[in-house]
Structure 1
Amino acid sequence: MAHYRIEYFREGTHSGDRVSLEVPNLATGLVVADINRPHGDVELWDGDRQIARLHRERGGAGGYWQIG
């Protein structure tokens, strides 16, 4: 069984505390990222394995995530 989560830095790239939110699947992870981190970097994880690092520019709400 997969244990997906999204992670990001609360105060921006590589500063502040890391936020980790468990999600039931990757599609929900993207929705949670849209709500909680409308711009900046978000990492998608499956257990201990990082699946992807995503980036969205400021003002990108309703836009798209870039895979980095």
Structure 2
Amino acid sequence: MQHHYRIEYFREGMTSGERLSLPVPNLATGLVVADINRPHGDVELWDGEKQIARLHRERGGTGGYWQIG
């Protein structure tokens, strides 16, 4: 089975319903990309049309840990 992973999130200044979507080669890389591009807030991990998880991190969160929401 071939996977098509991506992260999605709302970027500040975007209109309602508008998302930024970034393809990633695997889930580990998806977390790194989320860490770089979204240091706080929510991101979603997707495999094709299936949402795998929604992650959240508070502004100024400790140690860079994401919470699974």
The two structures share one fold, judged by TM-score above 0.5: yes
- Which residue of structure 2 lines up, in the alignment, with residue 27 of structure 1? 28
4+ residue runs of structure 1 moved beyond 3 angstroms? none
Decide which structure has the larger Cα Rg and report it.
Answer: 2
What root-mean-square deviation, in Å, do the aligned CA atoms of Structure 1 and Structure 2 show?
A: 2.0
Give the TM-score, by structure 1 length. Answer: 0.89
Name the SS of the counterpart of 2:60 in structure 1. coil
1:1-68, aligned counterparts within 5 Å?
1-11=2-12, 15=16, 17-60=18-61, 62-68=63-69
Which blocks of at least 5 consecutive residues in structure 1 are unaligned?
none
Higher strand share: 1
Could you tell me the TM-score, scaled by structure 2's length?
Answer: 0.87
TM-superposed deviation, 1:53: 0.1
Aligned residues: 67
